[in-house]
Amino acid sequence: MLAALKVASLKYPALSGFTLLELVVTLAVMAVLGTLALPSLGQRVDRARLAGAAEGLAADIAEARFEAARLGRSLHVQARDGTDWCWSVANAPGCGCAAAQACQLKTVRASDHPGVRLLESFSLQLHPGGEADIHPARLEGRRGERLRVTMTPLGRTRICSEGADEASAARGYPPC
């Protein structure tokens, strides 16, 4: 009988695992670490949304400038501010982005970039020779961070940060 007991104990060793107290402590530590990391993650998401909107606008302006030169006619970028802001690239002046129109080549709306706000309306004409009316576009994130999209005198788009604090430098954009 003793031999059978030894064989049974070899087959089924004592179950090892975590106690309820160990699991509760582990979950509490993970919850504390999660609450510490959550605000940082939210800031990173907000910055990425702001950067995405600014880079999208800069790319649309650069592409419209190229297309104006390629087609040999002026193209227009118009933006409307407000809660339902938008911008459009169009082949006719005055072709705004409020409603879909045949003259629009591309339209971007506020719903495409949640948490980002266009601070002021603007109208930009891109001439076939590469010149353009230079007007900066200013975008603001949910936490008040601002990026400015401008064109250099040579016609290149540039994104800069309105503010020289550490948070702006962390985005990787030079101060304006």
Lookup result for tokens 């060793």: 13
State the Cα–Cα distance between residues 157 and 116, nearest whole angstrom: 20
Q: Do the beta carbons of residue 139 and residue 19 sit within 8 Å?
A: no
Task: Report the percent of the chain where pLDDT is more than 70.
Answer: 85
pLDDT of residue 15: 59
Residues of the chain with pLDDT under 50: 1-2, 4-5, 7-8, 168-170
pLDDT of residue 168: 47
pLDDT of residue 107: 93
Lookup result for tokens 């809660």: 83
- pLDDT single digits (tens) 138-153: 999 988 899 999 988 7
pTM of the model: 0.75
> Which structural domains are found in the chain, ordered by start?
45-171 (3.55.40.10)
Burial class (CB in 10 A: 0-12, 13-18, 19+), 8: exposed
Residue 143 parent element (H or E): none
pLDDT of residue 166: 52
Burial class (CB in 10 A: 0-12, 13-18, 19+), 66: middle
